[in-house]
Amino acid sequence: MEKRDLLLEAKGRFIKMLSSQSDVCSPVDLRDELVISRPLSVSEAIGDTGRDDFPLIRGKEVLMQAAYRGSLGQAFTAAKGGFRGTLGEVLEMPLQGPFERAVLIAAMNATLRYLGKIERTVHCRDDGPKSCKASMEEWIAEQGAEKVGLVGLQPAILEALVQTLGPEKVMVSDLAEAGTFRCNVKVLDGMQAEQMFENCPLILMTGSTFANGTIDDLMAQARRHNCRTVFFGSTASGVAYLLGLERWCPCSG
């Protein structure tokens, strides 16, 4: 079976949707300028969260921000750089690596936000992660899952899962943190996490997987083991909308 490229599928649906906007009052013009900023500073991206364990703070990720007609969209990525050009030029870029993938994701998030198709495309700030943790504790208790997998080490969410379910009912994978212990849970290698999908009927997955290109293999495993997959974070907002994927992100802006 030919391997799916989910971000490429989302891009195709995005282009098709834009072509159908010609009859609305303010259609999207591919000649409009779209600006992808330099990576935001920690202060600009998440403010003062009162903690120092987020990948962004540790320098393992950056937050890329796009602006389209005043609407903002963001994408977490390990690739640094900026872009200034038209929306059409973004869509012409081949998805060669993490930088191009993150540019596309941020651009789609900003444009879909402008069109009113999606909300919560900007990462939460200051007390937001604390509120996110509390919301996750409440939400996960309602799901009834016996064991939960977390793809992408978001520390506040991991703490919420462990405090609600106990460390023995939580599994986590992360490319950068593999082999370490966090909240009494050993972090698995993100590329060798088959056991997570075998054991966890519910998988929470970071939207960064679309930017770093790991999403297709991860979703193949989720389908193979019949896992329910829920994406968290602002990065996945546009792709989740375009592909009809489940997303949880109550505190982003």
- Range with lowest mean pLDDT among 35-44, 67-76, 159-168, 231-240: 35-44
Backbone torsion region of residue 167, taken as left when φ is above 0, otherwise alpha when ψ lies between -120 and 50, otherwise beta:
alpha
Domain limits, CATH 3.40.50.11590, in the chain: 128-248
Per-residue pLDDT tens over the stretch 209-218: 999 999 999 9
Residue 2, pLDDT score: 53
pLDDT for 1 equals 46
Reduced to 3 states (helix: H, G, I; strand: E, B; else coil), residue 173 is strand
CATH for the stretch 128-248: 3.40.50.11590
Tell me: pLDDT of 241 over 80.
Answer: yes
For residue 3, the model assigns a pLDDT of 65
